Amino acid sequence: MSFYLAIIGTRDNPVYELAFGTHRQGGDGQPKFSVQMKELNPFIVHAALDIVEDVQWTTNTMYLKVVDNFYNYMISAFVTAGNIKFLLLHETKVEDSIRQFFVDIYDQYIKTVLNPFYAVNQTISSPVFDQKIRNLAKKYL
Amino acid sequence: MRASFDILDSNRDKVSTTTNGDHKTHTRRKSSVSSIASSDSNPSKTAINCKNITSQAFCPRVLVVASPDADELARESGFDRLTTLLQPFGDEIIGRVCIRDSQSITLNCENYSVRFNDVIGGGLPTTSGDIVNRNVVLFKTQDHESLLKIQVEEQENFLNWELSLSYRNQLKRKLYLDQFFRRIIANPPVTSFETFSHPVACVYAISSRNANPLETLAQLPKTINNGTPPAEYINRDYLRTYVLIHHENEDDLEQSRTLLEKMKRQFGLHCYLLRIGRHKATEDQYQVIKQSCWITAHEELASIDQSNNNKSETDASAPPSLHNDDITEIQQLVRSLVTQSIIPFMERCVTVWNDQVASSRRGITGRFFSASRKYFGGGIGSGGSNGLKSGNSLLGSITNSGNTTLDVPVGAMATYKQLGFYGYLTPEATIRRLADYAFMLRDYKFAHSTYDLLKRDFLNDKAWSYLAASQEMAAISILMSINPPQSILSTKTRTDIIEPLLDSAIYTYISRSSMPTYALRCILISSELLCTVGSPLAASYDATKWLLKALDEKLVGRLGYALLMERISNAYGVHGEISEINRNRRRGTASPALDQNNNTSNNTNTNRKTKVSDLIQSTSGGTRHRKAAFWLLLAAREWYDANDYKQVQLCTENANHVYGEMDWTVREDGILHRLTSGHRTKNMIDQVDLLSIN
């Protein structure tokens, strides 16, 4: 199973992206998207923003569950208070772990925002952040 | 157009400043929205065109039976036979056509059409079960695909880089409408489960050259189908009309007039005189008559082949052409045929059948009737159909066809269980015909309620093709009856009525009776119509869902696949357009209140809450431009795989309204980069950066 995580800024710009695989069931944590799928990933997630913008007004929670799907893939979304969107492309429906995953990413993201040298919508290139997200992915998915 | 969108954008700015207090700041990329809206002015335009095509496609069929001398006359003008001469004139009747519907309300139709053909559909081998209707194809997928290929290649030459985007989009739209959509719904074959291709009327034509006109006319009915009787599911009580073609140059008008009088005395009032060949004129008064636009892919391919052959030899046959006066004369004839004979006849049929067959089934007593029929076998059923028989003969006397004695064939009363089809005198077939007539007369609400009556009977008999066809038409007739802004499809109708109908129809077409081409027709028509009903979700949710179904089931060839993906993109565009309109309307009514709300701070809390929810409704949601761009990209990938780089370019250019401003889209491992760079190396024409064009 492969996942693609994107943190999208307020201007539809990617702030952070990560493709990873599962560590469960003997997975090695590497993404195994097919070639056709790999080049489409960012576009699929971008298209799902349309739905996210509809759904975010209908609920009080930040976690929007599965908002969209593309063939066998599903897209789960999480909208932060600052209108930053976390989107995850995944193949199986595991709402609880995805929710915890998102909440922990939100935690990490807040810590990044606290950095005085970081401006909203700036790309996050910190290797520490990257490593933490990978660890979270390993923990939950 | 542009100006109005600008106004709209400034409005939106005003609103978004007021929402800033909300905890979720809603940023909208207004530039991309407006550019998509202005460049492809309205995506629903194509859908509305499709609606018009659909209403013209399901039109009365008129059987043409011509004497050899009448055919000879047509041949002198360069036509194959009289039918081909008449066909182009049936495409659009000149002027308005008045139709009275079941409620006696008059409806004016601008673009009514009829279709002329000269085959009635011979007797199929009568086997039991659903075998008769299994594997019937609406069109041959290969023919369709190869025709599409030819047309796309032809269009290649016009899709030049220098031409404006909107012009190229227009060409593309035309390709879809005329070569794809129209070809799929044009001329369905004669089948037992729908009566659109069964004749409604018949034209017996002779010319003034005939030596024994009255005898020839009397003999003409026997030449239909070379003498083989039509299949037993085809209604034989169609309207008979008689046309005398008078050749002005050769024959005496007085003689023809007396002949017409004689014809009227013998055959009834539906006799017409057509005067042609009045002038020996110069070339410039002649007009080339184009082929009817309703030919199937198969016929079109044949004619393309033929013209190619002709080119390779000599330019042997001149294109069929007629004198201007003759053209108006024929137009007038077709018009009076339709307005004076065919439509009144159909209106009468609808009334008679509704009174005698359908009305007994409507309402609570009708339900009991069909239930008792189910449990007590044929006794009651045959009683009901005796009434029907008398009804038909009553109709026969109205239409003056009483002079041809009706010998009822054995299969006419056949039930589905006996022969695998319903004979034309059974109540089921009659109700279906009634519904089809109502549909052809554009009385869609009545048609829907009539199609609905049939469902249980067909389900009980396991008559799958019948069931699917009636459900398809039931859904389509609801969708056709909705004309925004006067009426809008409600969410309830959409989810509770249309969706199950379409779901069942498509499933039955594909799985139970293996007629995938019909499933494709159903999906195409209904998804286009769903884009015209003024409900954003109908377009972006339902229409795209069915189109995706068509893709998943592989109902189309490769180019069709790409075209359908573009349709999905278009449906998402329609969503944006409709919610834009809705938002405007709501803002138009709500904005004074909003201003007040901002100015006076002493509003009650509840009042504020409703206003905020209004505001959220009017600002949020509504666009699907990212989805639209995404599906354009997928379509571009299909065109790329089909080595059609100009189409790739067109798709990516359209998608660039969304993707153009973002740098992540042109990454080297992304699809957009692959498509555009591949196109660049292969076409070698442009050094211009595709993305900087806009």
Beta strands B239-247 and B271-276, pairing class: parallel
User: Which candidate, B288, B99, B119, places its Cα nearest to that of B187?
Assistant: B119
* Contact call for residues B16 and B619 (beta carbons, < 8 A): yes
Range of the domain at B172: 1-39+147-187+556-598+615-694
User: A36, A57, A83, A84: best mutation site toward chain B, by most B Cβ within 10 Å?
Assistant: A57
Find tokens 């592989």 and name the residue.
B554
**Overall domain count for chain B:** 1
Range of the domain at A116: 2-140
Q: Which element (helix H / strand E) includes B634?
A: helix B625-641
Position A9 scores a pLDDT of: 93
Tell me how far apart the alpha carbons of residues B443 and B44 are, in angstroms, rounded to a whole number.
23
Contacts of residue B280, defined as CB under 8 A and 6 or more positions apart, other chains included, come to B249
Q: Using an 8 Å CB-CB cutoff, list chain B residues near A57.
A: 24, 616, 620-621
Partner-chain residue, chosen from B572, B631, B662, that has the shortest CB–CB distance to A12: B662
- C-alpha B204, offset from chain centre: 28
- How does pLDDT run across B401-418, given as a tens digit for each residue? 333 444 566 667 777 777
The CATH number of residue A121's host domain is 3.30.450.70
User: Which candidate, B364, B463, B370, places its Cα nearest to that of B420?
Assistant: B463
Tell me how far apart the alpha carbons of residues B224 and B480 are, in angstroms, rounded to a whole number.
35
* Domain membership flag for residue B575: yes
Phi/psi of residue B289, each to 5°?
A: -90, 125
Tell me how far apart the alpha carbons of residues B107 and B338 are, in angstroms, rounded to a whole number.
15
Contact B662 A44 (CB under 8 A): no
- SS3 string, B486-512, reads CCCCCHHHHHHHHHHHHHHHHHHHHHH
* Domain membership flag for residue B659: yes
Partner-chain residue, chosen from B27, B630, B674, that has the shortest CB–CB distance to A47: B630
Give me the residues paired with residue B245 across strands.
B207, B274
Q: Using an 8 Å CB-CB cutoff, list chain A residues near B664.
A: 13-14, 42
Q: Which two tokens stand for residue B270?
A: 């539906």
Tell me how far apart the alpha carbons of residues B502 and B508 are, in angstroms, rounded to a whole number.
10
- How does pLDDT run across B257-312, given as a tens digit for each residue? 999 999 999 888 899 999 887 666 666 677 888 888 888 777 788 888 877 776 65
Find tokens 């036979």 and name the residue.
B81
Position B26 scores a pLDDT of: 38
* Domain membership flag for residue B10: yes
User: Which candidate, B341, B295, B285, places its Cα nearest to that of B91?
Assistant: B295
Tell me how far apart the alpha carbons of residues B310 and B324 are, in angstroms, rounded to a whole number.
27
Q: Which two tokens stand for residue B664?
A: 């992540």
Is residue B305 exposed (0-12), middle (13-18) or buried (19+ Cβ within 10 Å)? exposed
Q: Using an 8 Å CB-CB cutoff, list chain B residues near A81.
A: 23-24
Query: What chain B residue is nearest to A50 in terms of C-alpha separation?
Result: B624
**Overall domain count for chain A:** 1
3-state secondary structure of B429: helix
Contacts A–B by Cβ distance under 8 A: 64
Position A41 scores a pLDDT of: 92
User: B625, B626, B676: best mutation site toward chain A, by most A Cβ within 10 Å?
Assistant: B626
Is B281 in the A-facing interface, judged by CB distances under 8 Å? no
Q: Using an 8 Å CB-CB cutoff, list chain A residues near B626.
A: 12, 46-47, 49-50
Contact A42 B665 (CB under 8 A): yes
Contact B630 A43 (CB under 8 A): yes
Position B179 scores a pLDDT of: 84
Query: What chain A residue is nearest to B573 in terms of C-alpha separation?
Result: A50
* Contact call for residues B637 and B671 (beta carbons, < 8 A): yes
pLDDT less than 70: residues of chain B = 1-41, 120-135, 159-162, 227, 278-284, 310-318, 363-411, 589-621, 678-694
Position B372 scores a pLDDT of: 53
Is B24 in the A-facing interface, judged by CB distances under 8 Å? yes
User: A16, A37, A49, A50: best mutation site toward chain B, by most B Cβ within 10 Å?
Assistant: A50
Supply the Cα-derived Rg of chain B in whole angstroms: 29
Position B612 scores a pLDDT of: 54
Is A38 in the B-facing interface, judged by CB distances under 8 Å? yes
DSSP code per residue over B525-585: HHHHHHTTSS-HHIIIIIIHHHHHHHHHTT-S-HHHHHHHHHHHHHHHHHHHHHHHHHHHH
Is A30 in the B-facing interface, judged by CB distances under 8 Å? no
Q: Using an 8 Å CB-CB cutoff, list chain B residues near A83.
A: 24-27
Q: Smallest CA–CA separation between A81 and chain B, in Å?
A: 6
Q: Using an 8 Å CB-CB cutoff, list chain B residues near A87.
A: none
Contact B626 A46 (CB under 8 A): yes
User: B20, B24, B667: best mutation site toward chain A, by most A Cβ within 10 Å?
Assistant: B24
Q: Which element (helix H / strand E) includes B62?
A: strand B61-66
Query: What chain A residue is nearest to B629 in terms of C-alpha separation?
Result: A47
Contact B623 A53 (CB under 8 A): yes
Chain B, 634 to 653: residues with Cβ < 8 Å from chain A are 634
The angle formed by the CA atoms of residues B411, B413 and B416, to the nearest 5 degrees, is 80
* Domain membership flag for residue B522: no
Is A10 in the B-facing interface, judged by CB distances under 8 Å? yes
Is B350 in the A-facing interface, judged by CB distances under 8 Å? no
Position B507 scores a pLDDT of: 94
Q: Using an 8 Å CB-CB cutoff, list chain B residues near A53.
A: 26, 620-621, 623
Position B542 scores a pLDDT of: 92
Position B1 scores a pLDDT of: 37
Contact A40 B671 (CB under 8 A): yes
pLDDT less than 70: residues of chain A = none
Tell me how far apart the alpha carbons of residues A50 and B631 are, in angstroms, rounded to a whole number.
13
